């Protein structure tokens, strides 16, 4: 991270997130990795997160669950909902596989444009970029510390952070307030 407005603790949080993404062999840095970094952080933001139930184990398990890819397009369909319309999902699947084989029913991988990246840095998702920008905006002219960055991450309204916090039964506004309250 090159922005001089981020202090060493905030930079360390981003490095923890990058390390986590690499361990998971993810080719990107997402908000889920930042949330994991908050959960393992030895700083006050990490202590507060763990006190509220945001543990490294919980974030890791929920990230894995949410990022698990379905084996085929049929795995994402609601068989019960289709049955109310008179559609037997099993019969449709059998007919498609009989006609075309199993390969055509695999989810289509979406190709993304490659971005030029600095050596040693993972490309960041748009949500991470938004979090970093929000942290700068919220800090005003002050330097951004790890608690300020953590407060922005837990309050993000998109990506994997909201469903992870929901699964852990941790209200984001309460966690954000606690992190900011302890950061003073």
pLDDT tens digit sequence for 118-149: 456 789 999 999 999 999 999 988 999 999 99
> Which of 52, 81, 105 is where one domain is finished?
105
> How confident is the model at residue 42, as a pLDDT?
95
Percent of the chain's residues with pLDDT above 70: 82
- Better-predicted residue by pLDDT, 97 or 76: 97
How high is the mean pLDDT of the chain?
85
Average pLDDT over residues 42-63: 96
Q: Which residues pair with 124 in a beta bridge?
A: 29
pLDDT band at 75 (very low <50, low <70, confident <90, very high): low
Q: Which residues pair with 171 in a beta bridge?
A: none
The answer on 135 and 50 residing in a single domain is: yes
The answer on 13 and 96 residing in a single domain is: no
The answer on 45 and 59 residing in a single domain is: yes
Structure-block tokens of residue 1: 């991270």
The answer on 61 and 12 residing in a single domain is: yes
Q: 100 lies in which domain range?
A: 73-105
The answer on 172 and 126 residing in a single domain is: yes
Structure-block tokens of residue 152: 């922005």
The answer on 130 and 166 residing in a single domain is: yes
1-11 pLDDT per residue, tens: 566 789 999 99
153-163 pLDDT per residue, tens: 999 998 899 99
The answer on 82 and 60 residing in a single domain is: no
> How confident is the model at residue 116, as a pLDDT?
44
> How confident is the model at residue 93, as a pLDDT?
79
Checking phi first, is residue 169 left (phi over 0); if not, alpha (psi -120 to 50) or beta? left
| pTM of the shown model | 0.73
The domain total for the chain is 2
The answer on 58 and 25 residing in a single domain is: yes
The answer on 101 and 25 residing in a single domain is: no
Report the alpha-carbon distance of residue 68 to residue 64 in Å, rounded. Answer: 6
The answer on 169 and 91 residing in a single domain is: no
> How confident is the model at residue 88, as a pLDDT?
87
The answer on 129 and 175 residing in a single domain is: yes
The answer on 24 and 98 residing in a single domain is: no
């Amino acid at each position: 991270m090159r922005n001089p407005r981020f202090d060493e603790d905030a930079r360390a949080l981003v490095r923890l997130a990058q390390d986590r993404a690499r361990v998971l062999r993810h080719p990107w840095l997402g908000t889920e990795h930042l949330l994991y970094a908050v959960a393992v952080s030895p700083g006050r933001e990490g202590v507060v997160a763990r006190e509220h139930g945001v543990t490294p184990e919980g974030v890791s398990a929920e990230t894995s669950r949410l990022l698990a890819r379905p084996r085929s397009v049929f795995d994402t369909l609601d068989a019960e909902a289709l049955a109310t319309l008179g559609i037997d999902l099993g019969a449709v699947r059998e007919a498609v596989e009989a006609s075309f084989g199993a390969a055509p029913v695999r989810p289509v991988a979406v190709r993304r444009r490659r971005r030029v990246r600095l050596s040693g840095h993972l490309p960041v998702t748009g949500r991470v970029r938004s979090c970093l920008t929000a942290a700068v905006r919220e800090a005003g002219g002050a330097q951004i510390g790890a608690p300020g960055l953590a407060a922005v991450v837990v309050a993000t309204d998109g990506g994997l952070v909201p469903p992870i916090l929901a699964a852990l039964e941790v209200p984001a506004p309460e966690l954000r307030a606690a992190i900011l309250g302890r950061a003073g």
